[in-house]
Amino acid sequence: ILSGVEEDVEALLRNFIIKKHYTFESFSEVWKEMQFYYIFCGRPTVLEMKSFTRELLLLVKSFALSTFTVWERSGAIFLLYSLYFNQPLSQKVTIRTEHKEWLELRDFADKMKSINIQVSFCFYKLVVNHAFDFVFTNKPYNIESMKEDEVLKKEPIVKMHTKHKYDKFAMGTLLTSIGFDPNSSAQRESKYNEIKQLLNEKFPDVCNFEIRRFAVNLLVPNVDTEEKSTAQDSSATSSQKRKKREKKSKK
């Protein structure tokens, strides 16, 4: 859900540091230059917007913790402030914060009072507006998440073959491990191809559907199956060409 967002956040903080004026005005310039106000666009549902915003705030909060430099943390506080108050939701998504993280953030904000009061102001403005949700852990635990954790612990991790970009054996094992059945998909695809073939034969002037075999390629290699599939494809193609030639000769 945060695909590419972490790189954008890092780029924004990097550009903020390059400014060498660690004020909210400098941060605002970078925000506008990068058009970061579009970060919330493209979320079609409220549920997806909430999930995205929650994960985004957690990501930005991580940059405000003690593992980063003072100026990176300052930029992260500014970004946290901007994202929280600009999120397009009537009921604001809060920032899940563990006790240890809260102590780090509070101590940092107090320290910045003598260095850059704007950082402290943004932090305590978030506090006053109840932006922080004090939780035991950042990841919410419920029956569903506990079941997911149990499944992940029990199931072996399937890694793709590193030698080839596409390995049918590895792909077949991977698909099976997540509950996908390539065989049933291949059967449905075969029936779909039969319908397209019939339409091509019955209405050759208006129909020219391509016979695709995507699902078959997901199956574990089988020489007999592949030869049969190839023979069917070539037979279907030959049949189409023959019928077109016959129709032209009649004309």
pLDDT digits (tens, 9 = 90+) for 140-193: 766 666 666 666 666 554 443 333 344 545 555 666 666 667 677 778 778 888
Q: Mapping DSSP to helix (H, G, I), strand (E, B) and coil, where does residue 96 land?
A: strand
Torsion of CA 137, 138, 144, 150, to 10 degrees: -70
The structure tokens listed for 160 are 């793709």
> For the CA atoms of 216, 217, 221, 223, what is the dihedral angle to 10 degrees?
70
Alpha helices in 34-181 (DSSP H): 46-63, 70-86, 99-111, 117-128, 143-154, 168-177
Q: β-pairing, 95-97 with 132-134?
A: parallel
**Residue 214 above 90 pLDDT?**
no
Tell me which of 115-119, 135-139, 190-194, 207-211 is least confident: 207-211
Give one DSSP letter per residue of 164-196, joined into a string: SS--HHHHHHHHHHTT--HHHHHHHHHHHHHHH
